[in-house]
Structure 1
């Protein structure tokens, strides 16, 4: 997962009332169930920064029809401070309280059609998420902590029993109890209570290398298990006071070496409601040769099927595995060697709208329809790419996503996750393809 759009390689239940409070919520949509009566998750990441350049607002999840098809929204991201606490504020590159809960939205950009005023304690994305949940009561919103750029201090926060306890308590206080820092008329005690329904851990990566400034230690593996346990314990304790259950998930890697370095799979899966599997960035535009970034199958290479198998073999239950799907592509330019461009040398990342080598699906769709690029498919591998003779983009289109959705149903997995919702078309073409696929339509 990302904090920014920059690519990176990721080689990749005591009474009946209490029992009822802690029972998983039923799906609002019976059609989203498999023949075994198990609800399939649709987890989409909403990026904090997408409200700026992309002008992608929470309201767009409503108007596109996306919100009706999601079960979870992961809000990306919450950061961890050098002293190992969840925090927010207006710190360039580190926290953006303006986007989160300070920024007023006009009526035209608001889910409920009412403009924000300066007297309300919460505005911005947080208030819009609250309004979206009021309109779609089935939706759960999780705060996702970390990401590629903001995993810097996870290892320190998880290092000792005391640091873990303080870290978890700070996250629950900030996001679940909703005690936001005062920013003018915004924030204050309990101001954001009820917006978030749980926590998603996006530590990239315990026990192995991540971003350049991200600390990692050999003991991260056992400390991550302990951290997950601490989150589960404190979430359950707080949930009892609210007569509800808070969810806990994690984003986890593809590469077996990273799994083995950082994750005691059987132990963490007992405390996690589900994990979202990295199903993309198997190869990225910073490499010298073009390659698939999200194939369903790939002999001798990273793949979705290989990732699923790696987690199953280490003891993860299939119904807790949620397949990650990219709503973007990786691209190269200066591709030589002829043919369809796949597996050929390239001079560098392809020019793109936001960051070289990284492009939203909605832009790639236009390339595919423009007549210059040809769509190529590896039907056995379950992936697609665009090539114009010089520039190649590897991406997932609706046809690929329908195949992956069928795989989820056939293998009894927990559902699908999408990075990120702002890269889909205005009418939600990709989420619609996955939704129909998960329904078996």
Structure 2
């Protein structure tokens, strides 16, 4: 009996409860919107995220990290001083970690490609990143190079190894200063396979933020989901390597050597819209001719924020359907078709991340949530959906030593 009790005690000591990671990207350009769409640092709730990421800074021709919007980011020349205000959120939540994201889709790939290929430019990048982080009070840097070996990259295949080399050098300098290093990466396996040596880069970063959105969109000739959890209607015969789902993305990244305790599943707080070719053919995989409606505040063709789409659904005659296989909703009205995530699908995705023992989830991005409670689901509807599930069963095996604090 004593032996049984001893075994039970040892088993109990081998697990620890941990707070799961909730990474929240903040698109700072939302401060330039007007009316109900305007979202400033003051709108952020520092208690709903473990990590807040300020998007985006850029890099110049010398490889140095620079502000893209100095009038908003900095204090000089009567600027809005957003960097300071953003980092002062840690006074309200002392456990909060803040990071500065460098890159993003609009920054392109060429600058990163040239920088990563040059030892001198890599040094400039690392040193300027550290100066910026320390000057403004960030806890670390997120490298959002979209994407190595693709788009306008001049160095092509060499980018893959150069990216890993860059992260290796960065981690040495960042560890010396207690700084966090994370990356934002493509979720789609066929895109990721061209851009990353997963096992190599994963060892040098604290977190890998999986951008599990834009898996389908109005650039496709048929409607499909922005970010299906599983394969959905009409996809039962699609080859595994061709699937564009959260499940396929997570399986790919884990199979290629990314540790689950570093992988963060991205959750889109926006939808994609299509214009149907025939209004009467309006299911998944219906013929489409391009982007549909855009959000009245965000003004992005073929895309719409959650706070905008939930208001449209609430006030107009949209028909809501669910692809039960894919685990996500969609909505139609006449020739308009919209793919999005809601409270229910977000909770299901968080449960999926928990089931696979991932580090947590990432929101792209918080200013798209219903931050003004326009739709009556409470402020930050989707972020609160995350918190309904995120720390359920968050138990990790601790036999292999202590886990670094993130």
Answer yes or no: same fold by TM over 0.5.
Answer: yes
Q: Number of paired residues?
A: 356
- Given candidates 221, 224, 228, the residue that maps to 1:288 is 221
CA contact (8 A) 2:49 2:96 kept: yes
Aligned twin of 1:235: 174
- Distance between the aligned counterparts of 1:223 and 1:419, measured in 2? 27
Aligned twin of 2:44: 61
Within 5 Å, give how 1:190-209 maps onto structure 2: 192=136, 195-209=137-151
- Distance between the aligned counterparts of 1:170 and 1:127, measured in 2? 17
Q: Does 1:248 align with 2:181?
A: yes
Q: Does 1:221 align with 2:160?
A: yes
- Given candidates 193, 204, 207, the residue that maps to 1:260 is 193
CA contact (8 A) 1:153 1:215 kept: no
CA contact (8 A) 2:167 2:201 kept: yes
Q: CA deviation at 1:207?
A: 1.5
Q: In structure 1, the residue corresponding to 2:203 is in which secondary structure?
A: helix
Q: Does 1:437 align with 2:395?
A: no
- Given candidates 342, 359, 367, the residue that maps to 1:397 is 342
Q: CA deviation at 1:337?
A: 6.2
Q: CA deviation at 1:403?
A: 0.4
Q: In structure 1, the residue corresponding to 2:105 is in which secondary structure?
A: coil
Q: CA deviation at 1:260?
A: 2.4
Q: CA deviation at 1:166?
A: 2.0
Is the alpha carbon distance of 1:364 and 1:215 closer, same or farther for their aligned partners in structure 2, counting shifts above 3 Å? farther
Q: Does 1:376 align with 2:318?
A: no
Q: Deviations over 1:94-133 (max 9, x none)?
A: x2111102389xxxxxxxxxxxxx6xxx852112113211
- Given candidates 35, 43, 66, the residue that maps to 1:87 is 66
Q: Does 1:428 align with 2:380?
A: yes
- Distance between the aligned counterparts of 2:324 and 2:76, measured in 1? 46
* Unmatched 5+ stretches in structure 2: 1-14, 373-378, 394-406
Q: CA deviation at 1:367?
A: 2.1
Is the alpha carbon distance of 1:290 and 1:48 closer, same or farther for their aligned partners in structure 2, counting shifts above 3 Å? same
Aligned twin of 2:28: 48
- Distance between the aligned counterparts of 1:274 and 1:170, measured in 2? 21
Aligned twin of 2:73: 100
- Given candidates 312, 337, 343, the residue that maps to 2:285 is 343
Q: CA deviation at 1:402?
A: 0.6
Aligned twin of 1:150: 107
Is the alpha carbon distance of 1:103 and 1:398 closer, same or farther for their aligned partners in structure 2, counting shifts above 3 Å? farther
Is the alpha carbon distance of 1:332 and 1:320 closer, same or farther for their aligned partners in structure 2, counting shifts above 3 Å? same
Q: CA deviation at 1:351?
A: 2.3
Q: Deviations over 1:18-39 (max 9, x none)?
A: xxxxxxxxxxxxxxxxx75232
- Distance between the aligned counterparts of 1:371 and 1:162, measured in 2? 56
Q: Name segments (4+ residues, structure 1) moved above 3 Å.
A: 213-216
Aligned twin of 1:330: 272
Aligned twin of 1:356: 301
* Unmatched 5+ stretches in structure 1: 1-34, 89-94, 105-117, 179-191, 240-244
Q: Deviations over 1:64-97 (max 9, x none)?
A: xxx2120011110110112211123xxxxxx211
TM-score normalised to structure 2 length: 0.83
CA contact (8 A) 2:230 2:245 kept: yes
- Distance between the aligned counterparts of 1:251 and 1:345, measured in 2? 32
- Distance between the aligned counterparts of 1:351 and 1:379, measured in 2? 25
Q: CA deviation at 1:216?
A: 4.7
RMSD of equivalent CA atoms: 1.9
Q: CA deviation at 1:278?
A: 1.6
Q: In structure 1, the residue corresponding to 2:288 is in which secondary structure?
A: coil
Q: Deviations over 1:239-268 (max 9, x none)?
A: 1xxxxx211110111232332222121121
Aligned twin of 2:4: none
CA contact (8 A) 1:278 1:323 kept: yes
CA contact (8 A) 1:383 1:400 kept: yes
Aligned twin of 1:419: 364
Aligned twin of 2:376: none
CA contact (8 A) 1:341 1:389 kept: no
Aligned twin of 2:120: 162
CA contact (8 A) 1:79 1:87 kept: yes
Is the alpha carbon distance of 1:205 and 1:216 closer, same or farther for their aligned partners in structure 2, counting shifts above 3 Å? farther
CA contact (8 A) 2:293 2:336 kept: no
TM-score normalised to structure 1 length: 0.77
Is the alpha carbon distance of 1:216 and 1:46 closer, same or farther for their aligned partners in structure 2, counting shifts above 3 Å? farther
